[in-house]
Amino acid sequence: MKTSCATTIIAITLLLFSNAIQSQTIDPKLNQMELDMQFIGKWKAEAGRDTIIIIECKSACNGVETLYKTETRGKVLFEEKSLLGYDKKTGKLIECSVDNKSPDIGVYVAWFTSGNKMEEILLEDLPNADKASSKTSFEFISPDVFETTYTENNKVTEKHTFNREK
């Protein structure tokens, strides 16, 4: 009699605790646009001898407008302007960009995988995101520092550390 009562109590306890444990392992939905606001401001990274990368992000309507420049000794080598916003259909951030090196428009999709990590790929690669040939990963080390890692064909091609300009 005592054994069946103890077994019942253990079974009920396990059921109660298993529901609590399961609810904690489900990741809450990340507010993609709110997390993207971490980029608002001016950022700078060293990119080789006498070369810097400057990123300026500002809030624009319900999105983020970005100006990205690579300069060597004050001369602009590359410049890109983009607009990013949240797409409810995909649950991801969509970015459209134009630059001074290509007549084509770049369309990208990005998403935060955690509060401080974001992935970005070409929109055309979204159906097979895990097989995307190129990817940019962003990781906030602190509110004033983030790192980017550029990958082509599963090989890291560039890494930069950006510091917020005050």
By residue range, what is the domain housing residue 115? 32-164
Phi, psi for 36 (deg, rounded to 5): -65, -25
pLDDT in tens, 58-87: 999 999 999 999 999 989 999 999 999 999
Q: Report DSSP state, residue 115.
A: S
- What does each C-alpha distance from 10 to 1, 20, 23 come to in angstroms? 14, 15, 20
> Is 137 within the bounds of a domain?
yes
The number of folded domains in the chain is 1
Here the CATH number for the domain that contains residue 40 is 2.40.128
> Is 106 within the bounds of a domain?
yes
Q: Partners of 134 in the beta sheet?
A: 152
Residue 3, pLDDT > 90, answer no
